Amino acid sequence: MSVVLRAQLLLCLVSLSARTGLTRYIEENDAADGLYSLFTSAQKRDSEDFIFRRPLRCLDMLATEGSFTFVASRPQLACAAFIIAEPSEVISLELSDVSIDCSAGDFIKVFDGWVLKGEKFPSSYDHPPLPHERYTDYCSSSAETLVSRSSQNVAMIFFRIHSPDSSFSLTVKKLHNPLPCNIMSQSPEGSFTMVIPHQRRNCSFSIIYPVEIRLTDLSLGEAKINEIRPLKQMWSGCSGSGDYVELLGGNGVDTSKMFPVADLCFSSSGLAQMKIGCDNSVVRLVSSGNYINRVTFQYRLLEQHELPKTRENSLDNFCTVE
CB-CB contact of 105 with 79 (8 Å)? no
Q: Which domain range does residue 64 map to?
A: 54-176
142 vs 29: CA distance, rounded Å: 31
Query: For residue 69, is it within any domain?
Result: yes
189 shares a domain with 109: no
133 shares a domain with 116: yes
Give 148's strand partners: 93
> C-alpha angle 126/295/44, rounded to 5°?
75
- Specify the pTM: 0.78
CATH number at residue 251: 2.60.120.290
Cβ neighbours, 10 Å, residue 108: 24
161 shares a domain with 76: yes
151 shares a domain with 212: no
74 shares a domain with 160: yes
Quick one: 152 exposed, middle or buried, by C-beta within 10 A (0-12, 13-18, 19+)? buried
Query: For residue 136, is it within any domain?
Result: yes
Could you report the per-residue pLDDT of 18-42, keeping only the tens digit for each? 333 445 544 554 434 445 455 555 5
204 shares a domain with 264: yes
Query: For residue 12, is it within any domain?
Result: no
209 shares a domain with 159: no
Nearest to 42 by CA among 92, 87, 7: 7
Could you report the per-residue pLDDT of 99-111, keeping only the tens digit for each? 999 999 999 999 9
147 shares a domain with 92: yes
258 shares a domain with 158: no
247 shares a domain with 200: yes
The confidence score (pLDDT) of residue 228 equals 52
Could you report the per-residue pLDDT of 82-132, keeping only the tens digit for each? 999 999 999 999 999 999 999 999 999 999 999 988 899 999 989 888 888
197 shares a domain with 144: no
**How many domains are contained in the chain?**
2
